[in-house]
Chains A and B, each alone.
Chain A
Amino acid sequence: MFFHYVDLSWRSLKRTPMVSLLMVIAIAVGIGITMTSLSVYHMMSADPIPSKSTQLHHVQLQTMDDGRDWWSDDNMPYQVTYPDAINLLNADLPYRRTAMIAAGFAVHVDDSDMKPFLERARVANADLFSMFNLEFIYGSAWTRNDEDSQASVVVISQSLNDTLFQGENSVGKTINLDGMTVRIVGVIKDWPTYVKYYDLNNGAFRDPEHIFLPFSLIAPNEIITWGNSNGWKAENVRGFQDKLKSEQFWVQFWVDLPTDEDELAYGQFLMSYMAEQQKLGRFARKELDFALRDVKQMMVYREVVNEDNKILVMLSFMFLAVCLANILGLLLAKFLRRAPEVGVRRALGASKTQVFIQHLVEVGLLGVIGGILGIFIAQAGLWGMRKSNDAYTVIADMDLTMLLSAPAIAVSVCILAGLYPAWLVCRTTPATYLKSQ
Chain B
Amino acid sequence: MLNMNGISKVYQTEMVQTHALRDFDLQVNEGEFIAVTGPSGSGKTTFLNIAGVLEPFTQGQYLLDGVDIGKLNDNQRADIRNQKIGYIFQGFNLIPDLNLYENVEVPLRYRGIKAAERKRRIESSLEQVGLASRAKHLPQQLSGGQQQRVAIARALAGKPRFLLADEPTGNLDSLMARQVMELLEQINRDGATIVMVTHDPELARRAPRNIQVVDGQIADFSLYQGNPAAVVGA
Residues of A within 8 A of B (CB): 1, 4, 11-12, 15, 340-341, 344-354, 429-431, 434-437
Contacts and interface: CB of A to CB of B under 8 A. Distances in A.
A431 B87 CA distance: 11
B78 A346 contact: yes
A430 B54 CA distance: 6
Contacts of A11: 97
B78 A437 contact: no
Contacts of A12: 97
B93 to A, nearest CB: 5
B78 A350 contact: yes
A434 B93 contact: yes
Contacts of A345: 95, 106, 110
B79 interface: yes
B91 A437 contact: yes
Contacts of A346: 78, 81
A347 B75 contact: no
Given A347-B54, A430-B55, A341 B95 contact: yes
A348 B97 contact: no
Contacts of B82: 348-350
Contacts of B79: 349, 351
Contacts of B49: 431, 434
B55 A348 contact: no
Contact of A437 (B54, B89, B111): B89
Contacts of A351: 74-75, 78-79, 110
Interface in B44-66: 45, 49, 52, 54-55
Interface string B32-53: 0000000000000100010010
B110 A350 contact: yes
B74 A437 contact: no
14 contacts: A1-B109, A11-B97, A15-B97, A345-B106, A347-B81, A347-B87, A348-B107, A349-B79, A350-B82, A350-B110, A351-B78, A353-B75, A431-B54, A436-B91
Nearest to A15: B97
Nearest to A437: B91
A349 B89 contact: no
Contacts of B154: 348
Contacts of A341: 95
Contacts of A430: 54-55, 81
B54 A4 contact: no
Given A349-B81, A353-B75, A431-B55, A437 B110 contact: no
A4 B166 contact: no
A431 B49 CA distance: 6
Nearest to A432: B55
Interface in B110-147: 110-112
A347 B52 contact: yes
A155 B2 CA distance: 92
Contact of B83 (A15, A349, A350, A353): A349
B90 interface: yes
Given A348-B106, A430-B55, A435 B81 contact: no
Interface in B67-89: 74-75, 78-79, 81-83, 87, 89
